[in-house]
Amino acid sequence: MTDRYNIHSQLEHLQSKYIGTGHADTSKWEWLVNQHRDSYCSYMGHFDLLNYFAIAENESKARVRFNLMEKMLQPCGPPADKPEDA
C-alpha cells in the first residue's frame, strides 16, 4: 500500500513540475502539441540534425531554424472546440 501511494505521489510531482508529462485531464491535442514542440526543440538543439535538414531542404541553417520556430506556434493547428457542459 505504501509503495502504491509513493509511486502515485512521485507521478503527481513530475506532472506538476514538467508540462510535457501530462495529467489526467490532458487532451489528445495538448499531448500532441507537447510532443511536436519537444521534437522541434530537439531538432534545433542538435547541430548535426539541423545541418541534415538544411541540406535535405536545400535551405540555409538559419532558414530551417526559423521555420522550426514558426512551426512551434501551432504545430497541430488550432485546438478543437470543446463541448460546453450544461
Structure confidence by residue, pLDDT tens digits, 64-73:
999 999 999 9
* Domain span including residue 38: 26-76
Q: Whole-model pTM? A: 0.72
| Mean pLDDT, residues 36-62 | 95
Q: Confirm whether 57 is domain-assigned.
A: yes
Tell me how far apart the alpha carbons of residues 43 and 19 are, in angstroms, rounded to a whole number: 19
When divided into structural domains, the chain yields a total of 1
Q: Which residue has the cell 509513493?
A: 6
Q: Confirm whether 13 is domain-assigned.
A: no
Residue 1 has a pLDDT of 56
Q: Confirm whether 6 is domain-assigned.
A: no
